[in-house]
Amino acid sequence: MGERLAGTAWVLWTCARMQAREMAGNHLGLIICIVQPAVLVLVTVGSRTDQPTATLTRWTIGVVLTSLWASTVWVAGGILRMELHYGTLAASVTSVRPGFLVLLGKCLGATLRSVVVIAVSVTVTVALTGTGISLHNPGWLLLGTLLTVVSGASLGMLLACVLLLTQYGQQVSAALMYPVFILGGLLVPADLLPVQLRWCSTLISLRWAQDFLAGAASGTVAPGSLGMAALLTVGYFVLAVVLFGKVVDRARKEGTLELV
């Protein structure tokens, strides 16, 4: 059991490190993780410094998570399509290690790098604008951040499988990104949306992560929000593993994917 866990950890670490290195030269990733969060901070937090600290803190966390969603769609979600493009998909899905484990490691690497770069960009921009935010309960904030990384990676896995099944990956990515910007409850509060659309945000783990992180940073811990984020994350992961298996089976039986 110990050797198996060590082997799994090694695969995840190796794949995560490789994906993080690949992202270093991704200009789209730099725009999404550096430029976009800085602009969003200036438009939201930077222009309303008269708001209460708790509100500014929630908006700032919303900017981080909105940028993370964009990175998940365009970077983590496109991992399998890029491997198909470069001809390395076969090695990933037919190796001695489970293919979904390789994908998970790469999505973890992409998500973790995105979170770090976005956080740096937001921190610098907030400091330059002189915006005051609160950061209470550092232990809970760390736990919430780790769950957010895992949740982003699970979403990335799910999107990677979905986008691999269509030849209109860029169009689908764009179609997925902006509705979450509006309906996800991250920058636009859910109570400002039409009643018929408010339920949409309850299916997005990042919304619950924002509730937990914003509350913890302001001094109020909401374990219910953390639990909902964790539950949705597990759901994303299970769906991603099931869909990944179907993608591989389809490729092997029907030859619909260019694995060789």
**Residue 260 falls within a domain, yes or no?**
no
Structure-token pair, residue 55: 């509100």
CA 140 to chain centre: 19
**Residue 228 falls within a domain, yes or no?**
yes
Residue 68: its pLDDT value, please?
93
**Residue 68 falls within a domain, yes or no?**
yes
- SS3 for the chain is CHHHHHHHHHHHHHHHHHHHHHHCCCHHHHHHHHHHHHHHHHHCCCCCCCCCHHHHHHHHHHHHHHHHHHHHHHCHHHHHHHHHHHCCHHHHHCCCCCHHHHHHHHHHHHHHHHHHHHHHHHHHHHHHHCCCCCCCCHHHHHHHHHHHHHHHHHHHHHHHHHHHCCCCHHHHHHHHHHHHHHHCCCCCCHHHCCHHHHHHHHHCHHHHHHHHHHHHHCCCCCHHHHHHHHHHHHHHHHHHHHHHHHHHHHHHHHCCCCCC
Give the pTM: 0.89
Q: Which residues lie closer than 8 Å to 152 by C-beta, 6 or more apart?
A: 68, 69, 71, 72, 76, 107, 111, 114, 115, 206
Nearest 10 degrees: Cα torsion 43, 49, 51, 52: 120
Per-residue pLDDT tens, the chain, 260 aa: give them: 777 788 788 888 888 888 888 877 677 778 889 999 999 999 888 767 678 888 899 999 999 999 999 888 888 777 877 777 666 676 666 666 777 888 888 999 989 999 999 999 999 999 988 888 888 999 999 999 999 999 999 998 988 888 777 777 677 777 888 888 888 888 888 888 888 888 888 999 999 999 999 999 998 999 999 999 999 999 999 999 998 888 777 766 655 555 44
CA 147 to chain centre: 10
**Residue 73 falls within a domain, yes or no?**
yes
Structural domains of the chain, count: 1
Residue 260: its pLDDT value, please?
43
Residue 214 one-letter amino acid: A
Q: For residue 118, give its domain range.
A: 2-254
Structure-token pair, residue 97: 């290690």
**Residue 149 falls within a domain, yes or no?**
yes
**Residue 145 falls within a domain, yes or no?**
yes
**Residue 259 falls within a domain, yes or no?**
no
